[in-house]
Amino acid sequence: MNQTWAELIIKLSGLYAGIGALFALAFVLRGVQRIDPAARGAGWGFRLVIFPGSVALWPLLAWRWLRGRSQPPTEHNAHRGASG
């Protein structure tokens, strides 16, 4: 791999993580209780635990937060279909 490509990948990864960290800070303070009602009133320990995952998964969480979803999506798979 060319050094320029490696530098580009490192810079893009840093940008992704930086945006993710800024998003995660806002998300753990305000957004988590909007998309998951069970998280309302959760303490700082819970918010600290979900912070790294929020950094990594920020595009998915941002999409759900912007859409205003308050419940996790219903899972559709063969087991659920056979039971119902």
Query: Residue 26: pLDDT above 70?
Result: yes
> Are the C-beta atoms of residues 51 and 26 closer than 8 Å to each other?
no
When the pLDDT of each residue in the chain is averaged and rounded to a whole number, the result is: 88
> Are the C-beta atoms of residues 28 and 55 closer than 8 Å to each other?
no
Domain ranges within the chain, ordered by starting residue: 25-69
pLDDT value of residue 69: 65
CA distance 15 to 59: 13
Running DSSP on this structure, what letter comes out for residue 74? P
Confidence of residue 27 (pLDDT cuts 50, 70, 90): very high
pLDDT value of residue 38: 83
Confidence of residue 84 (pLDDT cuts 50, 70, 90): low
Beta-carbon neighbour count of residue 61 at 10 Å? 21
Query: Residue 23: pLDDT above 90?
Result: yes
The percentage of residues in the chain with a pLDDT greater than 70, rounded to a whole number, is 92
